[in-house]
Structure 1
Amino acid sequence: MDRQADRPGARRRSRFFLELGPILADHIAQHVRLNTPDENGETRRQRNERFGLPAVDPDTVNPDFEYLLEWFWDISAGRSHGFSGPNPLSMTEIANWSTLTGTVVRREELSILRAMDGAFMSAIAKEQAEVTERQKSGA
């Protein structure tokens, strides 16, 4: 039995992390949308600059939680790739990263990392689908 979960402070912390997960997941999705190269190797960020459109950056994150973004991108750099692109991060990859770096990952942080990865995978799939659709239509 987890005695920590019965304490009011632990419940508030868990609720806080549950609310933080979607914010960071949305940040990841925005990042992917702006920085994923299209079939010509150009990102939306570069295309916007080329057409003189204002720079759009993902929403800023509270500096107290930037470490989760740093962890995610560090783990993501070692992710495996298949024929159709990146694979979801496995629990083994996260555990190995944690062991190799000496980083203690709490269960709330793990949930957030997995939500961020879900957003990453969804955003990548959407970008790939848009490229495929453009190629079909000849645009």
Structure 2
Amino acid sequence: MAVRAGQPVHRHGCEFFGDGAARLLWHAEHEFDRRRPLKNGGTLADAYAQFKRQTGREHPDDKPSCDLPDHMRYLWEWFAEISACRPVSQAGMLPVPATEIRAWEDLRRIRLEPWEVDVLRGLDALFLRINAADRAG
């Protein structure tokens, strides 16, 4: 099940974590967009920083981020670890397979709750969508 803002994280998920998951995804979308590689070799964050150095003001397209909820920070960090195991093909990055998530769980001696897997899968789908949009454009 994909995680989207305004939807429950898991059919048994807690509203507290559901709202946190939506905020985590909003934060992730902002960060993924700012960190995606541009054709010139830099990132959008680099371009915004350069604009600010040259003009002394924020770039008009640099939208503010939602703060990463403290109670969801661990999922953001876990996603970064798991995403490093992402397979890549000639067509680009592929989704992180369930087998890689399970291997990560085994290495870390962690058992993810179903809603946590849903959030990680949602982050993965968002990451792929943002990076695929850049390749298509």
TM-score over 0.5 (shorter chain): yes
Instruction: Tell me the residue number matched to 1:73.
Output: 80
What displacement does 1:57 show? 5.9
Report the TM-score when normalising by structure 2.
0.77
Structure of larger gyration radius: 1
SS in 2 for 1:38: coil
Identity of aligned residues (%): 27
2:13 counterpart of 1:14: yes
Gaps of 5+ in 2: 1-9
- Structure 1 position 86, deviation (Å): 1.2
Alpha-carbon shift at residue 21 of structure 1 (Å): 3.1
Residue equivalent to 1:8 = none
- Separation in structure 1 between the aligned mates of residue 19 and residue 63 of structure 2, nearest angstrom: 24
Check conservation: 1:72, 1:116, Cα contact below 8 A: yes
Tell me what 2:117 maps to: 110
User: How many equivalent residue pairs?
Assistant: 120
Aligned-CA RMSD value: 2.2
Mind listing any 5+ residue stretches in structure 1 that lack a counterpart? 1-10, 131-139
> Which structure shows the bigger proportion of residues in helix conformation?
1
Amino acid paired to 2:13? S
Contact 1:32 1:120 (C-alpha < 8 Å) held by counterparts: yes
1:24-81 deviations in Å (ceiling 9; x for gaps)? 2232221111011111111111111111143766321111110000010110011111
